[in-house]
A and B are shown apart, each in its own frame.
Chain A
């Protein structure tokens, strides 16, 4: 029956009710964890080399940026640690977006075979990349030791700073997942756009080292607040300013508020869309 104005809304009813309340959240967590576990194996491999890769990769990334700064002849306070404070949150956000872009097409065989809660795919991408990059936190104590930067009580803010980072990654994962389904051809371009976001934020150079003109627009980038928050609690020993945590968290919440309902509406067509990707 082709739908007409009078036709009832198309529906599917399953009489086996899903679990409710706490059981429902426990089930969702199980699914997110299972998806993230399989993702980690697919994206990062297996065995001892995987662990080596996890530990070495962040150091290499920071090393590249330190080298760039040396070539640009820009000195500064604890350069390596300062860059690490930007690289860690950036990698979590960027890789979450990249992983979310592939999260639907990667599960094509399952998507075309069985019903499951497809709204959990983007959160699982965030979990995958957070777990993969959690090893990069080892960098902080090592670099603090290297630059003789002592720990302060400001470190107590770190869980909140990480939470704000994850909230931004969580919010950005929804439009990323939709982009991966709607326009898989532009995901490479989008990834390059995300990389540009690093340089359009105080990634290589701290905010305090920038001119007033640059500072005026660079704070609009939600990554700015995150990078500076990491520097505050790890490098400067200060509590982060409210805007540094509040702005990226608000952007993440706004993205989720706009794109989560859209994703929920679109996910019912995923099986049709992935088969033509």
Chain B
């Protein structure tokens, strides 16, 4: 059963004088310039079958929260418990490497996601078909458009059969036909007892996917409720 629970989660960034990010260990040796809590005291619970949108202005902590759920970042304070296999499209590059072809990315990402080498090889024809990249699949990803990268990234994710899907604006780079595909896939996942957490500025799409929303402001969750209520508050605050 897919489930996410966060209690008092905080994520801290430390910067040196050149505004480069430091780890706490590096901060002992380099002179620290500033620190910033990208998330502070974030608590929530998400359960199976829920579609949850993260709303908020740029820099409010939406992407950081998605990265915490994905396990890309680890909390510097608090606890997070994630139950279920996570599939994520979080970065602008959609998690694929520009110097590899679509086929090579499929194999590498499949193995990193937990498949055996044999399973990762076996899924290549399916991923190629799902991505609809045709001949471009054998080309270097560096030659792909952002939308093509997102298609490849999503096709790989589908192959790993996640029960938790995290989408961070990347899906907005997709064409309308493929966006419908993402939506249909997310709905199937929700019906099967999965969880979808998405963020972006395409609110009509978020509304179709998500019944619930969290509003993030300066790294704090300031509202948690039905999508339309939270959206109204977010847009109202911005208008004010």
Q: Which residues of A contact B (CB under 8 A)?
A: 1-3, 7-8, 10-16, 26-27, 30-31, 33-35, 37-38, 41-42, 107, 109-116, 182, 262, 265-266, 268-269, 271-273, 275-276
Most chain B CB within 10 A, of A10, A15, A113, is at A113
Chain A hits for B40, CB < 8 A: 1-2
A-B pairs with CB below 8 Å: how many? 152
CB of A2 within 8 A of CB of B77, answer yes
What separation, in Å, do the CA atoms of A35 and B100 have in the docked complex?
12
CB of B108 within 8 A of CB of A34, answer yes
Q: Using known A-B contacts A2-B77, A10-B77, determine if residue A273 contacts B71 with beta carbons closer than 8 Å.
A: no
What separation, in Å, do the CA atoms of A11 and B9 have in the docked complex?
9
Using an 8 Å CB-CB cutoff, how does the interface string of B1-45 with A read, 1 for contact, 0 for none? 001000011101100000111111110000000000100110000
Chain B hits for A31, CB < 8 A: 111-112
Chain A hits for B79, CB < 8 A: 8, 10-13
Which of A26, A41, A116 is in CB contact (< 8 Å) with B104?
A41
Stretch at the interface among B51-59, B90-98, B182-190: B90-98
CB of B23 within 8 A of CB of A34, answer no
Which of B19, B76, B94 is in CB contact (< 8 Å) with A113?
B94
Closest to B113 in A: A114
Chain A hits for B111, CB < 8 A: 30-31, 34
CB of B108 within 8 A of CB of A10, answer no
What's the least CB distance linking A259 to chain B, in Å?
12
What's the least CB distance linking A8 to chain B, in Å?
7
Q: Using known A-B contacts A12-B74, A13-B80, A14-B82, determine if residue A275 contacts B21 with beta carbons closer than 8 Å.
A: yes
What separation, in Å, do the CA atoms of A7 and B78 have in the docked complex?
8
CB of B72 within 8 A of CB of A111, answer yes
Chain A hits for B86, CB < 8 A: 114-115
Closest to A23 in B: B116
Which of B72, B99, B117 is in CB contact (< 8 Å) with A114?
B72
Q: Using known A-B contacts A38-B104, A115-B71, determine if residue A12 contacts B80 with beta carbons closer than 8 Å.
A: yes
